[in-house]
Structure 1
Amino acid sequence: MPSTSTPTTAAVLTPPARGAIATVSVQGPEAIALADHFFTSLGKVSLDEANVGRILVGHWQAEEDSVGEELVVAKLSPEVVEIHCHGGVQASQRILQHLASAGCVIESWQERTTSLHADAIVAEAKLELPRAVTSQAALHLLDQANGALTREIVIIGNLLEQSNFEVAEQKLAHLLSLASFGRHLTQPWLIVIAGPPNVGKSSLLNKIVGYDRAIVLDMPGTTRDVLHATTALDGWPVQFSDTAGIRVSDDEIEQAGIAKAKAAIKTADLAIVMHDATDVKPDELDQSLRELPSALHVVNKIDLAGDIRVPNSGEMLATSAVTGQGVPELITSIVSRLIPYVPQTHQPLPFTDRQVDGLRQLHCQVQRRQFDDALQSIEKLHSA
């Protein structure tokens, strides 16, 4: 086959798992010739002869193979061909091996996505989209894939060109205020459920996620390790961690679990500290509020508390992990703590560590009125 200075590449666009159909994209000046080398249509029409947009059903086979495969090939342009074969890894990998043997360059879907977009931010959004586990998170990433953040950075650059540092600084500060939200579009918010033994931590986790993720026994020290469960609250991805009951213990394994529980609290986006409504100790409640003022404090087992009344205030919530009483209110409080402000549709926001670091550097440069350095930082944001 004739060689050109521009390579022809092939990439699998579908996830690496068993599915109904796998898609291999071939792109470049030799895409048609490479596909025709292995593909024979049932109608004996070659891709070279077919019109753009034509879909052909046929047989794919290398000369050394005794058995080929029936599949569908689409001619999307004079330099782009899509091959739709049986789902799964083996079929698509076999096609890639054939194409590579004929001189095609094999690349990952990530490399293909990056090469298709000159702007690094748009490419990053396309790469992050498959990691969004909820539709709401995906919609915000889709806005960035359609250029929302890119356009805002261009506006900031124009403001700097006009020496309007104040407005540029305000826009950068606003973008940075959304950094936590943006990064959590693909990384769930981490919530740790902590407290003494037998306050209902595991029962509450099971009630929120809707299935028995944690073992529940009326025995102190049942939970030894940190158990994780991922779900969505009001459409936002969260990961709950059920931890060992924090108490004084001589059991080495339980001590290890308690140490993990304390470490998990330190790294969590939100801690839920639970107490037993049937054994309310005002001094312990006060101490808990002082030591973890940013946590959500929950008094559980109110279905068993009899005449004991626990105030349902901004500092203390009352729940029953058995009946579900107070759990909807708890979920509402969790979401409002994690996401006090939900960005509007089409709003620009950073969503990777690289972008956040770049915007922080740019913000400092704008504050110091370092015009040339700021323009270089903007260029780096667009071209990672």
Structure 2
Amino acid sequence: MNLLSATTTIAAIATPPGRGGVGVIRISGVNSLNILQQLTHSDRDYPPRVAILSSWLDDAGDVLDQGLSLYFPAPHSYTGEHTVELQGHGGPVLLRALLERLFQLGCKPAAPGEFTRRAVENGKMDLAQAEAVASCIDAATIRAGKQAQLQLQGAFGHHIDQLMQRLTSLVAHVEASLDFPEEEIPELFFDQLAEDMQRQLIFPIRAMLDSAALGERLFDGATVTIIGAPNVGKSSLLNAMAGRDRAIVSDIPGTTRDVLEVDFEVHGIPVRLADTAGIRESEDQIEQEGVRRAHQSAEQADAILFVADATRPDTWHCKVDADIYLMNKCDIGRGGYPDHFILASATSGSGLAVLRDNLATVLGDVEIADESMLVTRERHRQRLSEALHCIETGMQTLHDEERLEITAMQWRSAWMALGSILGIGDVEDILDQVFSEFCIGK
């Protein structure tokens, strides 16, 4: 832990801005208990983890607010330091006045994520668990929330730690070979080492990387743009997928002029679905702009859903490379549709379950035996990719005794790349980057 953190007591409001029934202020640092005693104008003892009804006073002895005071002595606290929580009324004026009083008593304003950063620096959690704290806050679906909880409990970090232990063992064999160059090492030794590296590290890391598309989208979400000719039922489809009437539906072609978006989820993935103007030639300048925006939305989307009208074969041809092709209005069509279309009806709801399954597949949803191994952050994916590259580069010189030092060097670099996921090694810059994205009070 750095010296400044060890000597500084910080405070921040831990509940969201705005009015609420309860507001919480956190204090963490060596002087937490002393500051609480000054705040209450009392030198009473505060039993650990016991809620005490308290009046919090200004310097003149007037009551600022009244609520529950809880004291968590080090190391049995969230940050690993002496910590105090003040649970008072959720009015922003009262909370701000109380916080200003704490600053008068010697607290410093907490930086974004500083409480969780101190928890990492004091060994209460690894860096992957700290990132999971932010993921718990940001989760937009139950599936994402459950995934965040798995990581917060340390499941993902445990897998990374296992990879590091395996790599340490395998590197040790190479280091031993370098320490005793006079010993003749049988080729079978290197063959077995290569096999172990493939089975114990390369295959598991590749499997984790294969899950990254799904894992990242669980939290970042995905955008899907609906395109097609006018009046094929794009707006009806958007309403059916969203479960509410969000778009105006009309038999008049060209009703949709701008990009209209709704949020929903498919297999636990947050999806923003965009309805666009029907693509056709038009003299109407407003409709031309709508068509331009439709193309722009499609270019920026994670997936494109092309919709055609089962009763109008002239709408069946798609001029862009779509990810999913849907034949709408099949309940009144006559058949003979191209094989690559999903058959559906936005009005009756038939085929929409199949559409959802296909959307999930296009967006990266795959069957995973152990979801605790899911890679949900770009930083983790980058470090795993770096580790895999170093491992495979080291494999290239494994059977060359004169270049075995290169193998050892590459595998040590792979260990450092994995370690940076957990916050092991010289990772000060990584800590700055990670916690800059946190909210103040967490």
**Residue 34 of structure 1: how far off its partner (Å):** 0.9
1:382 to 422, 427, 431: 422
Distance in 1 separating the partners of 2:107 and 2:221 = 39
Deviation digits for residues 36-66 of structure 1 (CA, Å, limit 9, x no counterpart):
22236xxxxx474232222111322212586
1:345 shift after superposition:
5.0
- Which is further off, 52-61 or 362-371? 52-61
**Match of residue 172, structure 1, among 189, 193, 205:** 205
Task: Measure, in 2, the Cα distance between the counterparts of 1:298 and 1:114.
Answer: 48
Identify the match of residue 286 of structure 2 among 248, 253, 258. 253
Q: Deviations over 1:182-205 (max 9, x none)?
A: 111211222111111111111111
**In 1, Cα distance between equivalents of 2:268 and 2:419:** 34
Aligned to 2:51: 55
Alpha-carbon distance change, 121 to 95 in structure 1, aligned in 2, over 3 angstroms? same
Tell me the distance in 2 between the aligned counterparts of 1:312 and 1:83. Answer: 65
| Equivalent residue, structure 1, for 2:17 | 16
Shift of the alpha carbon at 1:83? 0.4
**Letter aligned with residue 352 of structure 2:** V
Contact preservation (8 Å) 2:221, 2:270: yes
Deviation track 1:160-208 (CA, whole Å, cap 9, x = no partner) reads 2214432312222111111111111211222111111111111111111
Q: Distance in 2 between matches of 1:5 and 1:208?
A: 53
Q: Structure 1 pair 4/48, CA: closer, same or farther in 2 (3 Å)?
A: farther
Question: For residues 48 and 32 of structure 1, do their structure 2 counterparts lie closer, same or farther at Cα, with a shift above 3 Å needed?
Answer: farther
Question: Matched residues in 1 for 2:51 and 2:110: separation?
Answer: 24
1:302 and 2:330 matched? yes
The one-letter amino acid paired with 2:158 is R
**Ranges in structure 1 where 5+ consecutive residues have no aligned partner:** 41-45
Residue 53 of structure 1: SS of its match in structure 2? coil
- Structure 1 residue 28: Cα displacement: 1.5
Match of residue 122 from structure 1: 129
Counterparts of 1:27 and 1:329, CA distance in 2? 52
Check if 1:74 corresponds to 2:81. no
Q: 1:195 to 1:64 in 2, by over 3 A?
A: farther
Q: For 2:214, what is the secondary structure of its paired residue? A: helix
Aligned with residue 359 of structure 2, among 325, 331, 334: 334
Higher RCO structure (Cα 8 Å, ≥6 apart): 2
Decide whether aligned partners of structure 1 residues 349 and 50 sit closer, same or farther in structure 2, where only a CA change above 3 A counts.
Answer: same
SS state at 2:277 partner = coil
The secondary structure found in structure 2 opposite 1:117 is helix
CA distance in 1, matches of 2:263, 2:350: 22
1:322 CA displacement: 2.1
Aligned position for 1:43: none
Q: Which amino acid aligns with 2:93?
A: Q
Mean Cα displacement is larger for which, 334-343 or 21-30? 334-343
Measure, in 2, the Cα distance between the counterparts of 1:174 and 1:22. 43
> Within 2, Cα distance between the matches of 1:88 and 1:241?
38
Partner residue, 2:140: 133
State the partner residue of 1:360: 385
Q: Does 1:321 align with 2:346?
A: yes
Superposed CA deviations along residues 218-251 of structure 1, whole A, max 9, x for unmatched, are: 3222222222111122433211111121112233
Aligned with residue 150 of structure 1, among 157, 164, 176 = 157
Query: Structure 2 length normalisation: TM-score?
Result: 0.77
What is the percent sequence identity of the aligned residues? 28
Aligned equivalent of 2:436: none
1:279 aligns with 2:321: no
TM-score under structure 1 length normalisation: 0.87
2:116 matches 1:107: no
Q: Which of 303, 326, 333 is residue 270 of structure 1 equivalent to?
A: 303
Aligned twin of 1:188: 221
Greater alpha carbon shift after TM alignment, 10-19 vs 136-145: 10-19
* Corresponding letter in the other structure for 2:418: I
> Deviation at 1:310?
5.2
Letter in 2 for 1:309: G
Structure 2, gaps ≥5 residues long: 75-81, 172-195, 395-409, 424-429, 431-442
Query: CA separation in 2, counterparts of 1:310 and 1:35?
Result: 77
**Distance in 2 separating the partners of 1:197 and 1:128:** 40
> Which range moves more in the overlay, 253-262 or 269-278?
253-262
Q: d(CA) in 2 for partners of 1:27 and 1:295?
A: 51
How many residues align structurally? 369
Corresponding residue SS for 1:374: helix
- 1:83 corresponds in structure 2 to 86
SS of alignment partner, residue 372 of structure 2: coil
The whole-number CA distance in structure 1 between the counterparts of 2:298 and 2:287 is: 17
- Pairwise CA RMSD of aligned residues? 2.5
1:347 equivalent to 2:365? Answer: no
Structure 2 CA distance for partners of 1:205 and 1:346, relative to 1, 3 Å: closer
Contact 2:213 2:363 in 1 (8 A): no
Distance in 1, matches of 2:226 and 2:252, equals 18
Distance 1:344 1:64, change over 3 A: farther
Matched, 1:213 2:246: yes
Q: Distance in 1 between matches of 2:362 and 2:214?
A: 12
Task: Judge conservation of contact 1:113–1:127 (CA < 8 Å) in 2.
Answer: no
Q: Residue 355 of structure 1: CA displacement? A: 1.6
CA deviations 1:244-282 (Å, max 9, x no partner) are: 21112233332232222223223323221101122123x
